[in-house]
Amino acid sequence: MDFRIGQGYDVHALAEGLPMVLGGVRIPSQTGFVAHSDGDVAIHALCDALLGALALGDIGHLFPDTVERWKGVDSTELLAAVLALPAYRGWAVVNADITIALQAPKLAPHIGAMRSRLAEVMGISPDRVSVKATTTERLGFVGRREGCEVWAIVLIERK
For Mg ion, the binding residues (CB under 5 A) are 10, 44
Closest CB to Mg ion among 148 and 156?
148
Residue 84 is classified by DSSP as: T
Long-range CB contacts for residues 58-61, cutoff 8 Å, separation at least 24:
58/8
Angle at 115 between CA 107 and CA 97, to 5 degrees: 90
Supply the minimum distance, in Å, between the C-beta of residue 64 and Mg ion. 12
Residue nearer to Mg ion on the CB measure, 59 or 93:
59
Report which residue's Cβ sits closest to Mg ion.
44
**What is the rounded distance in angstroms from the CA atom of residue 123 to the CA atom of residue 113?**
15
For residues 83, 88, 90, 94, the Cα torsion angle rounded to the nearest 10 degrees is: -60
* CB of 46 or CB of 91, closer to Mg ion: 46
Q: Taking the complex as a whole, how short is the minimal distance between the CB of residue 2 and Mg ion, in angstroms? A: 29
How far is the C-alpha of 97 from the C-alpha of 152, rounded, in Å? 6
**Considering Cα of 99, then 101, then 102, then 103, what sign does the dihedral take?**
positive
Minimum distance of Mg ion from residue 126's CB (angstroms): 24
Nearer to Mg ion, 24 or 91 (CB): 24
For the bound state, the minimum distance from the C-beta of residue 75 to Mg ion, rounded and expressed in Å, comes to 8
The residue among 44 and 110 lying less far from Mg ion, judged by its C-beta, is 44
Minimal distance, residue 41 CB to Mg ion, in Å: 6
